[in-house]
């Protein structure tokens, strides 16, 4: 009676071991099969940034969204089809853009080494380049991700919301194997880019029963946000830069946060826990410490495994 289930468990264990082995990422994954892949990506990202300074922020956020829904499997890149609304057409897609940069990279890499380099790896490498080319740290990206075949708009609900408090953020990150330390370091990605009014309106209109404006916002900063985002805002695409140096990857985000100039409730939340508050203060005073922590947390985030099985030929479509 006992033999069958035990045998099953042994088999299951072997299968789990085997499948994690297959999925293990490595830094030299394309050394033999596509040695020029990384240089090609860097060249394309560099050129795209010259034409459009919003590209680096877009590529960094794209990688975050990819990894937080179904793991880093390129699901964020898939186009909707007649029967399926894809992630990129889901609600918090408002600032996702620059997919064309991935298309340009993919086309060039397909000419070099057809069917070898996954779209998920391209996004991870492009995000790394975007950070490094904006003045931030660089790191070796583990590679070997496979592309998934599923992308559903409804699953973007799994992304953290800018109105999240500390416990919600902590839980959302923990579900993906990311710690409070990762949360603080990765939130530093908000040193790049732009936000629409809708993402921080909760802080400046009807904040709570006794305040219209979040009292933790510094007064003149709150006034400037109210000025660009009045209650009945008619300006399409109105909003604010994520920090004061929007195209420079630096530690200004943490300095501003400590001065009541964090943009989202989720940024402000980092000051509500003693451990995360201490880290915010550490990164505000040492860009070096921030860069080291960011690089190591990015490697963790970009290693969230998905169920991808293939290498797409066109990043917008399954094979």
Ligand X SMILES: *[C@@H]1O[C@H](CO)[C@@H](O)[C@H](O)[C@H]1NC(C)=O
Nearer to ligand X, 163 or 247 (CB): 163
Q: Closest approach of Cβ 212 to ligand X, in Å?
A: 20
89 binds, among ligand X, ligand HEM, none (CB under 5 to 8 A by kind): ligand X
* Rounded Cα distance, 319 and 302, in Å: 23
Spatial contact of 112 and 44, defined as CB atoms under 8 Å apart: no
User: Should residue 61 be labelled a site residue for ligand X when binding is judged by CB under 6 A?
Assistant: no
Q: Spell out, one character per residue from 164 to 193, where the chain touches ligand X: x when CB under 6 A holds, - when not.
A: -x-xx-------------------------
- Picking from 286, 240, 289, 247, the residue whose alpha carbon sits closest to that of residue 267 is 240
Does 93 contact ligand X by CB under 6 A? yes
- How many residues are recorded in the chain? 319
- With CB under 6 A as the contact rule, the residue among 42, 54, 89, 198 that binds ligand X is 89
CA dist list (Å): 193 to 20, 88, 245, 248 = 35, 18, 9, 9
Nearer to ligand X (CB atom), residue 169 or residue 186: 169
Binding to ligand X by residue 88, rule CB under 6 A?
yes
Q: Which does 123 bind (CB under 5 to 8 A by kind): ligand X, ligand HEM, none?
A: none
Q: Which amino acids are annotated catalytic?
A: 65
DSSP 26: B
CB atoms within 10 A of CB 220: 10
Pick what 316 binds: ligand HEM, ligand X, none; C-beta below 5 to 8 Å, kind-dependent.
ligand X
Q: How far is the CB of 61 from ligand X (least distance, A)?
A: 13
* Interacting residues with ligand X between 247 and 276 (CB under 6 A): none
| Nearest position to ligand HEM, beta carbon | 193
The answer to whether residues 46 and 162 touch, using CB atoms and an 8 Å cutoff, is no
Contact pick of 134, 156, 170, 266 for ligand HEM (by CB under 6 A) = 266
Output the CA torsion sign for 64, 66, 72, 74.
Answer: negative
Tell me: does residue 26 bind ligand X (CB under 6 A).
no
Say if CB 155 and CB 73 are below 8 A apart.
no
Neighbour count for residue 178 (Cβ, 10 Å)? 21
Cα separation, 280 vs 283, in Å, equals 5
Residues that bind ligand X (CB under 6 A): 79, 88-91, 93, 165, 167-168, 316
Residues annotated in the binding site for heme b, as ranges?
190
């Amino acid at each position: 009676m006992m033999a069958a289930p035990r045998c099953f468990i042994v088999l299951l264990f072997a299968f789990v071991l085997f499948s994690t082995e297959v999925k293990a990422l490595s830094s030299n994954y394309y050394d033999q099969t596509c040695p020029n892949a990384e240089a090609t990506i860097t060249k394309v990202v560099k050129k795209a940034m010259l034409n459009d300074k919003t590209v680096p922020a877009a590529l960094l956020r794209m990688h975050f969204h990819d990894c937080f829904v179904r793991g880093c499997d390129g699901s964020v890149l898939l186009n909707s089809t007649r029967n399926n609304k894809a992630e990129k057409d889901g609600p918090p897609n408002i600032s996702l853009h620059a997919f064309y940069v991935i298309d340009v990279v993919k086309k060039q890499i397909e000419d070099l080494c057809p069917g070898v380099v996954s779209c998920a790896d391209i996004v991870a490498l492009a995000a790394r380049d975007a950070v490094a080319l904006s003045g931030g740290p660089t790191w070796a990206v583990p590679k070997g991700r496979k592309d998934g075949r599923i992308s559903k708009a409804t699953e973007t609900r799994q992304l953290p919301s800018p109105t999240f408090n500390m416990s919600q953020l902590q839980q959302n990150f923990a579900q993906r194997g990311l710690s409070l330390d990762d949360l603080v370091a990765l939130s530093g990605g908000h040193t790049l880019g732009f936000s629409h009014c809708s993402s921080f309106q909760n802080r400046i209109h009807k904040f709570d029963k006794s305040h219209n404006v979040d009292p933790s916002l510094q007064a003149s900063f709150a006034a400037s946000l109210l000025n660009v985002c009045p209650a009945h805002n008619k300006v399409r695409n109105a909003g604010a830069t994520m920090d004061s140096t929007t195209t420079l990857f630096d530690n200004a985000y943490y300095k501003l946060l400590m001065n009541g100039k964090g943009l989202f409730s989720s940024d402000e939340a980092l000051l509500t826990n003693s451990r995360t508050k201490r880290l915010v203060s550490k990164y505000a005073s040492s860009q070096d410490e921030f860069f080291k922590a960011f690089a190591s947390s990015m490697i963790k985030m970009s290693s969230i495994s998905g169920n991808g099985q293939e290498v797409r030929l066109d990043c917008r479509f399954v094979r």
